[in-house]
Amino acid sequence: MSGERKLHWERVYEGKEPTEVSWYQPVPEKSLELIHSAARSTSDSIIDVGGGASSLVDRLLDVGYEDVSVLDISGKALQQSVARLGDLAARVRWIEADITDFNPSRSYAVWHDRAVFHFLTEETDRQRYIAAMKAALRAEGHFLLATFGPEGPLRCSGLDIRRYSVEMLRQLLGDDFVLQSEEIDEHRTPAGATQQFLYSWWQARA
Ligand SMILES: C[S@@+](CC[C@H](N)C(=O)[O-])C[C@H]1O[C@@H](n2cnc3c(N)ncnc32)[C@H](O)[C@@H]1O
């Protein structure tokens, strides 16, 4: 399963420019706002899970964050970000991995995921993701999640997805997390369609 998944995403990034994919954002404003609220110090460690070729990492470096990691299943996507950043890329830890197989070797203050978790349509994959996230987050760390919302699309990038309400997420996360905020956001794709996202910010209990 993991091999097919990787192949799919490598092909996506080989076939399209980063600005052409439906999830492209010129500025990832909502993610930046949440990260700034959660990561108060520029030394706070941040991992962007399924970061793809997003320019979120550029913006995080711009404002001075010193400990930024980007994980993605697609090496091609990561290469696009490395090429865009030039010399600055050396300041980032790049991790090519399937998040459902990820064994974190360190902890993070902030785990950010925009538009990755909703692709996990199998319960075992969701549980593996949540186990990795819980293992990686430090005590009182922050989990910033953007999935398709209750009125979001049913498919993306040719794949089935799962839409989420806050209640569904609360049940998945259990008592280990406290909801800090939730917000619906309408994403405008480069092709002009609108997609409903649910941004939620969770904090791990001490
Ligand atoms: C819809 S894109 C979102 C990219 C980025 N977060 C953004 O907002 O622009 C989904 C990303 O998740 C990555 N991805 C999908 N499944 C993954 C998995 N199981 N493990 C790690 N990355 C995955 C894809 O390669 C792709 O870059």
| Domain housing 159 | 2-204
Asked if the model's pLDDT at residue 47 lies above 70, the reply is yes
**pLDDT-based confidence at residue 48 (cuts at 50, 70, 90):** very high
Stretch 176-189: mean pLDDT, rounded?
97
Residues 6+ apart with CB under 8 A from 114: 23, 28, 31, 50, 54, 56, 146, 197
In this structure, which residue's CA is closest to atom 6 in ligand 1?
51
- Select from 27, 72, 189 the residue to mutate for testing ligand 1; criterion: most ligand atoms less than 8 Å from CB: 72
What are the backbone dihedrals phi and psi of residue 108, each rounded to the nearest 5 degrees, phi first? Answer: -130, 150
Token pair belonging to 187: 């994403």
Query: Atom of ligand 1 at shortest distance to CA of 12?
Result: 25
Task: Indicate which CATH number applies to the domain containing 15.
Answer: 3.40.50.150
Rounded distance from Cα 34 to ligand 1 centre (Å): 19
Query: How many independent structural domains does the chain possess?
Result: 1
Tens digits of residue pLDDT in 53-104: 999 999 999 999 999 999 999 999 999 999 999 999 999 999 999 999 999 9
Sign of the C-alpha dihedral computed for residues 25, 31, 36 and 42 taken in this order = negative
Instruction: Name residue 159's beta-bridge partners.
Output: 156
Tens digits of residue pLDDT in 106-148: 999 999 999 999 999 999 999 999 999 999 999 999 999 999 9
Asked if the model's pLDDT at residue 43 lies above 60, the reply is yes
Q: What pLDDT, on the 0 to 100 scale, is given for residue 2?
A: 75
Measured distance CA(21)–CA(90) in Å, rounded: 26
Rounded distance from Cα 128 to ligand 1 centre (Å): 16
Q: Fill in the amino acid letter for 57.
A: V
Q: Fill in the amino acid letter for 43.
A: S
Q: What pLDDT, on the 0 to 100 scale, is given for residue 194?
A: 97
